[in-house]
Structure 1
Amino acid sequence: MLSHWGHWLRPRAKKLLQHAQQIEFGLHEQHLISGNLTLCSSQTAAKHLLPSLISKIDNDFPEMRINLMVENTENVIEALLNYDCDLGIIESKNSDSRLQTEHWLDDDLVVIASPNHPFAHYKQVTLAQLEQAKWVLREPGAGTRRIFDGAVHGLIDNIKVWKEYESVRVIKSMVANGSYLGCVPYLDIVQELENNQLKILPTPQLNMQREISFIWRTDSGESPLRECLLSEARRLTRGRSFKPHKSATLV
Structure 2
Amino acid sequence: MKYSLKQLAVFDAVASQESVSAAARKLSMTQSAVSMSLSQFENVLDRPLFVRQGNRLLLSHWGRWLRPRAKKLLQDAQQIELGLHDQQSISGQFSICASQTAAEHILPSLISKIDTDFPELRIGLKVENTELVVQGVINHDYEMGVIEGRNDDHRLHQETLLEDHLVVFTNPNHSYARHEKISLAQLEQAKWIQREHGSGTRHIFDAAVQGQIDNIHVWKEYDSVPVIKALVLDGFYLGCLPFLDVIKEVKEGSLVILPTPDLNMKRSLSFVWRKDSGENPLRDCVIAEARRLVNYYKKQMDNSNLS
Same fold by TM-score, threshold 0.5 exceeded? yes
- Superposition deviation, residue 31 in structure 1: 2.9
Partner of 1:180: 237
Match of 2:117 among 22, 40, 60: 60
Distance in 2, matches of 1:29 and 1:242, equals 40
- The structure whose residues are more often helix, as a share, is 2
2:173 is the counterpart of 1:116: yes
Distance in 1, matches of 2:102 and 2:171, equals 25
Distance in 2, matches of 1:201 and 1:45, equals 23
Counterpart AA for 1:248: L
Name stretches of at least 5 consecutive residues in structure 2 with no aligned partner: 1-57
Counterpart AA for 1:25: L
Name stretches of at least 5 consecutive residues in structure 1 with no aligned partner: none
Counterpart AA for 1:243: M
Distance in 1, matches of 2:263 and 2:192, equals 15
SS at match of 2:135: helix
Partner of 2:306: 248
Partner of 2:144: 87
- Superposition deviation, residue 167 in structure 1: 0.6
Does structure 2 conserve the Cα–Cα contact (< 8 Å) formed by 1:108 and 1:244?
no
Does structure 1 conserve the Cα–Cα contact (< 8 Å) formed by 2:148 and 2:200?
yes
Match of 1:23 among 39, 64, 80: 80
2:63 is the counterpart of 1:6: yes
SS at match of 1:214: strand
Does structure 2 conserve the Cα–Cα contact (< 8 Å) formed by 1:108 and 1:243?
no
Partner of 1:214: 271
Distance in 1, matches of 2:237 and 2:230, equals 10
SS at match of 1:24: helix
Distance 1:193 1:238, change over 3 A: closer
Distance in 1, matches of 2:249 and 2:70, equals 47
Q: What are the within-5 Å matches in structure 2 for residues 42-81 of structure 1?
A: 42-81=99-138
SS at match of 1:247: coil
Distance in 1, matches of 2:305 and 2:180, equals 13
SS at match of 1:189: helix
- Superposition deviation, residue 145 in structure 1: 0.3
Counterpart AA for 2:262: Q
Does structure 1 conserve the Cα–Cα contact (< 8 Å) formed by 2:68 and 2:141?
no
SS at match of 1:88: strand
Partner of 1:202: 259
SS at match of 2:59: coil
- Superposition deviation, residue 242 in structure 1: 5.2
SS at match of 2:179: coil
SS at match of 1:83: coil
SS at match of 1:96: coil
Distance in 1, matches of 2:118 and 2:97, equals 20
Distance in 2, matches of 1:247 and 1:57, equals 32
Which structure has more RCO (C-alpha within 8 Å, separation ≥ 6)? Answer: 1
Partner of 2:289: 232
Partner of 1:97: 154
Distance in 2, matches of 1:242 and 1:141, equals 28
- Superposition deviation, residue 244 in structure 1: 6.8
Does structure 1 conserve the Cα–Cα contact (< 8 Å) formed by 2:168 and 2:238?
yes
SS at match of 1:213: strand
Select the structure of larger CA radius of gyration: 2
Distance in 2, matches of 1:160 and 1:242, equals 32
Counterpart AA for 2:61: H
Counterpart AA for 1:63: E
Q: Deviations over 1:57-92 (max 9, x none)?
A: 111111110000000000101111121111000001
Q: How many residues align?
A: 249
Match of 1:39 among 96, 102, 122: 96
Distance in 2, matches of 1:35 and 1:225, equals 8
Distance in 1, matches of 2:115 and 2:219, equals 42
